Structure 1
C-alpha cells in the first residue's frame, strides 16, 4: 500500500542542532544519515519513523513497526504468534537475540497430529485449535523494551492503536490474501465478521477498522505483559483454542491450552549464532530456528568456490547445490536445543563444509535429494553422544511460506533485524473474539511423523526457518537482511547474501533478483516468469530443474551501512505489493 509519508516535527534536544525528517514519499529504497527502517507496509515504516523522531531507539521503533504490521498485515504476523529478534547493541558492540517462538501446550504429545496411526491432513490440522502454539510475541516485545529499549508499551503501541482505530484502506495485495483465505476464514464466525463480506473477501478500497485489536493493544499498553498472559486476553485465547468460535455447522479439532501455558511462557535471550564469510562476521538466530545455522552452513560450503570469478550461471548452480546439501543436514539434525542435542558445532565447522563441498559437481546438478552428512565426526564437543540415523525417506510436514520481516537502525548505531509470524497466511484462521487478532498455527511446524528431532512435545518450540541476520565488517554493522517465506526464508537470505557479496549487486538489485529455492529436492522452486528465461536456460544446462507451479518467494527487507556514514534502507521493489523504506536525514 503506497502512502505518502508525513514530515514530523523534531522532538529532540535543541543542543543537537539537528532536524530529523524522513522521505516525503514512501518508496522501496531510501538513503540518509539518521535512523532507517524497511518493512513491507508503509504505515508500519511510518510508525517506526515516528518513534525514532520522538527519541526512541531502534528497539522501540522495531516494536512499533511490528505492532502496526499486526494491523496492516494480520495474515502473516501479530500478537497471536511469535518470532526471533536479532539486535546489535552499538554501545556494547555485541549482538544478542530474543527467541520468542511459540511453544507447545503442556498437554502436547508426539501423536498430536496423528489419528488411527496416520498423520492427519495438513490443511485440516492448520484450521483448528490444535494448531495453536502458546503465543510469544508480546513477551518478546516486553523483553526487548525492558532490556534494550528506551520506551514502554504505552508509547510504542500508540501508532498501531491509531491505525487500528482509524482504519486503513484495503489494497489489492490485502484483497488477494483475503481471497486465498476465504475458505478457512468462513469456518470461524469472528474472522468472517472482520475480514469477509457475505463470505467473500473485502474489496480493494474498503476502509478496514479493527476496534478489537485496538482494545487488545490498549490493554497491553495499560497493563503491560501480564495483561496478555494472565488477564482477560489470556482467558479469551484459551477459550478460542479449546472451543474454536466456529460458524454454524462447522466442526474443527479443538486444542488443549491452559491458562498456565500462557502464564508460564518464557522468552529466551540467546547468544547470536556467529559465522564468517569472506571477511564478514554474520550473526543470526540459533536453534530452535534452523535459519541461522543453515545459511551459515551453505555459505561455508560456498566459501571454497571463487564465485566472483565465475560466470553467473555457474555461480548460481553452485549456490543451488550448496543449498541442497545444507538442507539435507538441516532436515536431519536440527530442532529445539532444549529437547535435542543437535551436532551444531560439527555442522558449522569449515572442515565439515569442505567434506560436503567435495560432493558438488561443478558441471552437473544432483539428480534429486541427497543424503545428510555426518557432522558428528567434526563435533569438537564430546557432550553430544547420540547419533540418530537420518531417514531420507521420511516425509517432512509442509512449512508455510508466510511471515514478515522488518529491520530498523537508529542514529546511535543500534540495529534490529526482526522476523515474526503466525505461520500460514491467516494462521489457524481463528480471530480471538473481542480482541481482533488471529491465532497462529505454529504447531503444524512440527513434523507429524517420527522418529524425528522435530516431533511435537510438551513445551517444545517447533523448528523454524526464520533467519534475521546482521553482518559486521571490521567490527561495525555492514548490512542486515531477512525475509518471510517458510523454508524459503533460508534460501532468500542465502541468495541475497551471495548476490550482494559475491555477484557484486547493489542491495536493491540483490533483493529484487529472481529467487531460486533449492531445498534438497529434485526440482527447485522458482518465481513466475523465470521458466524459459535466459537465466533459466543457462542453469538447465547444468541439469537444474524447476517446479511446475511457480510462486512468489519471500518479501525481504535490508539495511546497508555505507562507508560514507549513510545508511540505505531497502525493501521489495515488486513483491508483496512493494515495500517501504524510510530514513531520517540530518540537516542544520
Structure 2
C-alpha cells in the first residue's frame, strides 16, 4: 500500500466484480474528517498518478479506476458519480460542469453548463416589476436549468475514455446500494438548510420522522440513485435525457408547489454539450489554461493576476502565511476592477459578442496596464468601473451584484501524463431543493440544480440590457475556474487545480497560483493560506485567520472589512521537477488526495 493510499483506513471491504478489464471495486468503510472549520492536512506525495476530490469515497473511486488501467477522464467520471451520492449538496448528475482535459499534446474544454428552457424569459425571476429574493428564486422550479454533466462526460469519454463507460458507475452504484456513512459536512449542510425538508422526496430521505437531519455516522442507502445510475451505465446518456428519467425531471420542475418551472422533455432531450476553445494565457514563465465564457473564471482570474503584475513588487507572506496588508490591498483592488469588467461583458458567447470580437482583448497587457494605473493608496470601494477593452457593437448594463454558491472540484493526473481539471456544480447547497428519483418510486434520488439563478434577475437597467440576462437556451455565466498550468518554455504540465466557492472561486484560484509561482509554496501550503475577497463592495477576511493589525491596515486603505467563514474547497496537484507529483486538499473540507 502506498503512503498516499495509506492515508485512508480501509475495513469491511466489499468485493464487487465489474464487467470487464479485470477490474474489481473495493468499497472502503471510510468516515471523512470534519467538514467544517479548519483541519490541517499534510499534502500527499505520489510517484506517477494522483486524484484529488472533495470526499474520500469519491477520491478512492478515482484511485481504483486509475489502478485498474483507466485514465484521467475515466477517473473523473467515477469520482463525479460518487460525489452525486456522498456530496449531494454540491454537485451531481442533476447539475452541470466544465472539464479541461490535457492528453499530453492538446488542451480541450468540454462545456456541460446547464441551459435555460425554451419557456424562460428575461422576466423569469421578476414579480410585479421587482426581482424575487434570492432564496425565493432558488427553492423553486424556476431556477432549474437543463442538466449537462452526464452528456458532457459521455462526450469526453467517447473521445478519450479507456475503460468501458459502464464500469465507471460501479463504485457509485455499489455505495448507493450498500450504503455510506453520513459525514460531518453533509450533516452540517442538512442541519443548516431551511428549505430541503419541504421537498416531498428529500424531506423523507434526509430527515427523520421528527424532522431532524440524519446523524453523523448513520449509514444511508440510496436505491433510487443506484437504479438511475444503472440505467445510465447500461444505456448511456440517452437514458438520462429521454424516457422515464427525463419525464421525471420535467414533472418535478413543472410540479413545484409554489413556483413551477417551464422545463419540458423537449428541453431535456435537446441538450447538447459543447467543446469550446480553451483560453491559454501567458503569465511570466507559465501558460495558464482555463475555461472561456460562459465561465467568467479564467478571464477574471487572469485579469487579477495581470493587473497585479503591473503593481510594485511587495513582500511574500509573513511566517504565519498571512499576506502583507500592502499585497492584500493590491489584490483586492485588482479584484474590484476585474469584477467590474466581469459584470459588464461576460455571458454565454452564443448570445453575447466579446469586446472587440475576442475575449482575450480583456487580457491584453496594454489594457491591464491601464487598469492597473487606477490602483492607488486609497481603496476604490464600490466605485470601480468597467473599462473598455475593445470596440463594442453593443453597450451592456452592468449586472447588479447577487449571491453565488456551491460547487465541487476534481483534479486528476494519470500515469500517462493526461490531466483533468473539472469543476462541477448544482449551485446553491442542495440546488433547487428538488429531488428527482427517475420515476423509480424508490427511496432517494439526486438533487436538481438551481443554476438559472446565476443569470441576472434584472434583465435590463434603464432600458439597457444586461449581457447575462435570461434567454431561452442560454447558459448562465459561471465563476467556475478549472485550471491547467504549463511551463511556457517546455510545454510540460505543471499543475491541475480549481475550487468551489461561488464568485470567490476566482479569488481562491488566483491566490493559489500566486502562492505556487511567486511565493514558492507547495500545493498544500498554498491551499492552507487564509482568504481575503471582494467582488466590488465590502472586503471579507476569513474568520479567525488574520491578525487584527491586518484588518486595521486594510481599513486605513479605505476598505470596509468584516470577517466571515470562507469555505473554499481547493484541490491542486503539482508536477515536481523530478516528474513526481505533490497534491493538496483544502483543509476547510473533507477532501483528500490519493495516488501511487
CA change 1:531–1:49 in 2 (3 A) is closer
CA change 1:442–1:367 in 2 (3 A) is closer
C-alpha deviation, 1:398, in angstroms: 2.0
- In the TM superposition, what are the counterparts of 1:299-338 in structure 2 within 5 Å? 299-305=305-311, 307=313, 312-338=324-350
Residue 190 of structure 1: aligned partner:
201
Q: What secondary structure sits across from 1:106 in the alignment?
A: coil
Query: 2:163 matched to 1:163?
Result: no
Residue 407 of structure 2: aligned partner:
403
CA distance in 1, matches of 2:331, 2:515: 10
Residue 270 of structure 1: aligned partner:
276
CA distance in 2, matches of 1:459, 1:358: 39
Aligned 8 A contact 2:381 2:536 in 1: no
CA distance in 2, matches of 1:37, 1:538: 40
Q: What secondary structure sits across from 2:340 in the alignment?
A: helix
Structure 1 residues 431-488: Cα deviation after superposition (integer angstroms, max 9, x where no partner): 1134600000011111011220011000000000000000001201111210001100
CA change 1:389–1:127 in 2 (3 A) is closer
C-alpha deviation, 1:397, in angstroms: 3.0
Q: What secondary structure sits across from 2:448 in the alignment?
A: coil
Residue 450 of structure 2: aligned partner:
441
- The match for 1:340 among 340, 345, 352 is 352
Residue 287 of structure 2: aligned partner:
281
Query: 2:258 matched to 1:258?
Result: no
CA change 1:51–1:308 in 2 (3 A) is farther
Query: 2:18 matched to 1:4?
Result: no
Residue 351 of structure 1: aligned partner:
366
Residue 579 of structure 2: aligned partner:
565
Query: 2:185 matched to 1:180?
Result: no
Aligned 8 A contact 1:569 1:583 in 2: no
C-alpha deviation, 1:368, in angstroms: 2.7
Residue 495 of structure 2: aligned partner:
479
Residue 104 of structure 1: aligned partner:
116
CA distance in 2, matches of 1:233, 1:355: 52
Aligned 8 A contact 1:171 1:205 in 2: yes
C-alpha deviation, 1:499, in angstroms: 1.7
Q: What secondary structure sits across from 1:214 in the alignment?
A: helix
C-alpha deviation, 1:25, in angstroms: 12
C-alpha deviation, 1:34, in angstroms: 1.6
Query: 2:499 matched to 1:495?
Result: no
C-alpha deviation, 1:260, in angstroms: 1.0
C-alpha deviation, 1:532, in angstroms: 4.6
C-alpha deviation, 1:504, in angstroms: 2.5
CA change 1:5–1:145 in 2 (3 A) is farther
- In the TM superposition, what are the counterparts of 1:386-535 in structure 2 within 5 Å? 386-391=393-398, 395-399=400-404, 401-433=405-437, 434=440, 436-449=445-458, 450=460, 451-473=465-487, 474-521=490-537, 523-530=538-545, 532-535=547-550
C-alpha deviation, 1:115, in angstroms: 1.3
CA distance in 1, matches of 2:45, 2:67: 16
C-alpha deviation, 1:541, in angstroms: 4.0
TM-score (normalised: structure 1)? 0.89
C-alpha deviation, 1:154, in angstroms: 0.9
Q: What secondary structure sits across from 1:276 in the alignment?
A: strand
Aligned 8 A contact 2:314 2:326 in 1: no
More deviation, 292-301/100-109: 292-301
- In the TM superposition, what are the counterparts of 1:45-124 in structure 2 within 5 Å? 45-90=59-104, 93-124=105-136
Q: What secondary structure sits across from 2:380 in the alignment?
A: coil
CA distance in 2, matches of 1:253, 1:405: 31
CA distance in 2, matches of 1:305, 1:277: 14
> Any gaps of 5 or more consecutive residues in structure 2?
1-6, 18-27, 33-40, 318-323
Q: What secondary structure sits across from 1:83 in the alignment?
A: strand
TM-score (normalised: structure 2)? 0.88
CA distance in 1, matches of 2:9, 2:314: 40
CA distance in 2, matches of 1:108, 1:25: 42
Aligned 8 A contact 2:99 2:111 in 1: yes
Q: What secondary structure sits across from 1:257 in the alignment?
A: coil
Query: 2:48 matched to 1:34?
Result: yes
Query: 2:154 matched to 1:147?
Result: no
CA distance in 2, matches of 1:530, 1:540: 17
C-alpha deviation, 1:3, in angstroms: 4.5
Structure 1 residues 14-62: Cα deviation after superposition (integer angstroms, max 9, x where no partner): xxxxxxxx9x999662111121011110000100010001000011001
Structure 1 residues 361-417: Cα deviation after superposition (integer angstroms, max 9, x where no partner): 1x332233311111125xxxxxxx4241544xx523322x21100101100000100
Q: What secondary structure sits across from 1:51 in the alignment?
A: helix
More deviation, 55-64/190-199: 190-199
CA distance in 2, matches of 1:213, 1:25: 21
Q: What secondary structure sits across from 2:142 in the alignment?
A: helix
C-alpha deviation, 1:192, in angstroms: 0.6
Structure 1 residues 299-326: Cα deviation after superposition (integer angstroms, max 9, x where no partner): 1111223536567332222111111111
Aligned pairs, how many? Answer: 547
Residue 222 of structure 2: aligned partner:
210
Aligned 8 A contact 2:88 2:430 in 1: yes
Residue 20 of structure 2: aligned partner:
none
CA distance in 2, matches of 1:369, 1:570: 37
> Any gaps of 5 or more consecutive residues in structure 1?
12-21, 245-250, 378-384
CA change 1:390–1:458 in 2 (3 A) is closer
CA distance in 1, matches of 2:547, 2:45: 35
Aligned 8 A contact 1:28 1:572 in 2: no
Aligned 8 A contact 1:307 1:502 in 2: no
Supply the RMSD in Å over aligned alpha carbons. Answer: 2.2
